[in-house]
């Protein structure tokens, strides 16, 4: 097979992995609504423990447990991953709450806003310099949040909390180092959260509020599958990142909040007052500006390299 055909097959595989990853993330609200027989805390606690078991299995099968021990012995990486664990647990709790309380529209807005917030964090924390179009996108994004806040009479706290926790999570993972693999990182994060998860389940059980066996095998399988829906898209994302240019992967990230938006409006029938339509239209404009700038900058960089 020629190099051209090999590269084309590699790209096709990358696209399939990316669609799988963002597709799962996009319809997760429907999954969490299906297991709403359990409380938000019980769902996240199960998600933590079952994800840990799956990550441990993958690391054992691939012989990568040594990377875990190496990371745990590195104080810098360990400290940042501990902070990442706190942030992802916060993000999971807020997301499950949004899904199970018919606030998926805010979840969608949060993940549409996340790329803009990531740029802001780059400026504030990493001292990066923005290009003019990026500044314009930031301003347009702020207008979008303001329009929705005025229409609702309050800030969209769920959206901002999701965007903030996930944006900071990405920043902290960057500081933790890029040599820590995705499964290794998630395995360590869930390992650190495991005592809290076990404590939460024990507390819920003492109050008669656990539901692992409430519906027999059905509830057991549903709660155990929280580990699968967490680890699978992450594995798909890692596979896609190895096969696709970052610019393509960056544009495809909007698939997840777009699907969440469809779930909120078409399936959950969440209210969409004019201020929401206007706010989402403005945020989409901001993302279009940001994407245009990223593509333009990437072309210039490639031209200079050539």
| 227-258 tens-digit pLDDT | 999 999 988 888 888 887 766 777 788 999 99
Q: What domain count does the chain have?
A: 1
Kindly indicate the confidence band of residue 293, based on its pLDDT and cuts at 50, 70 and 90.
confident
95 backbone dihedrals φ, ψ, rounded to 5°: -65, -45
For residue 247, the model assigns a pLDDT of 67
pLDDT(192) > 70: yes
Kindly indicate the confidence band of residue 305, based on its pLDDT and cuts at 50, 70 and 90.
confident
Residue 105 CB neighbour total at 10 angstroms: 24
| 256 exposure class (CB count in 10 Å sphere: 0-12, 13-18, 19+) | buried
Mean pLDDT on 218-231: 94
* Cα–Cα distance for residue pair 180/223, rounded to 1 Å: 28
Kindly indicate the confidence band of residue 291, based on its pLDDT and cuts at 50, 70 and 90.
confident
CA 245, chain centre distance (Å): 19
For residue 211, the model assigns a pLDDT of 92
For residue 8, the model assigns a pLDDT of 75
Range of the domain at 283: 3-305
For residue 268, the model assigns a pLDDT of 94
Percent of residues, the chain, with pLDDT higher than 90: 59
Mean pLDDT on 112-125: 86
Mean pLDDT on 134-156: 90
Write out pLDDT tens, residues 58-116. 999 988 888 888 888 888 889 999 999 999 999 999 999 999 999 999 999 999 998 88
pLDDT(177) > 80: no
């Amino acid at each position: 097979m020629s190099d051209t055909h090999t590269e084309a097959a590699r790209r096709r595989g990358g696209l399939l992995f990316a669609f799988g990853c963002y597709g799962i993330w996009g319809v997760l609200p429907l999954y969490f609504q299906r297991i709403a027989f359990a409380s938000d805390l019980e769902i996240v606690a199960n998600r933590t423990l079952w994800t840990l078991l799956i990550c441990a299995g993958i690391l054992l099968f691939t012989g990568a447990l040594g990377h875990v021990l190496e990371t745990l012995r590195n104080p810098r990486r360990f400290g940042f991953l501990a902070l990442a664990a706190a942030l992802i647990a916060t993000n999971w709790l807020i997301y499950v709450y949004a899904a199970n309380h018919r606030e998926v529209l805010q979840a969608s807005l949060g993940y549409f806003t996340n790329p803009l917030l990531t740029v802001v964090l780059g400026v504030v924390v990493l001292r990066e310099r923005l290009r003019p179009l990026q500044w314009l996108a930031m301003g347009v994004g702020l207008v979008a949040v303001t329009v929705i806040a005025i229409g609702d009479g309050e800030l969209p706290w769920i959206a901002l909390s999701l965007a903030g926790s996930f944006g900071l999570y990405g920043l902290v993972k960057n500081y933790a180092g890029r040599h820590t693999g995705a499964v290794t990182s998630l395995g360590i994060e869930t390992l650190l959260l495991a005592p809290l998860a076990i404590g939460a389940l024990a507390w819920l059980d003492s109050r008669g509020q656990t539901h692992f066996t409430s519906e027999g095998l059905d509830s057991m399988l549903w709660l155990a599958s929280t580990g699968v829906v967490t680890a699978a898209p992450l594995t798909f994302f890692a596979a896609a990142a190895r096969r696709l240019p970052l610019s393509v992967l960056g544009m495809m990230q909007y698939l997840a909040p777009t699907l969440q938006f469809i779930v909120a409006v078409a399936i959950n029938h969440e209210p969409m007052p004019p201020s929401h339509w206007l706010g989402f239209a403005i945020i989409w404009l901001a993302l279009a500006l940001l994407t245009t700038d990223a593509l333009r900058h990437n072309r210039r960089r490639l031209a200079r390299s050539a």
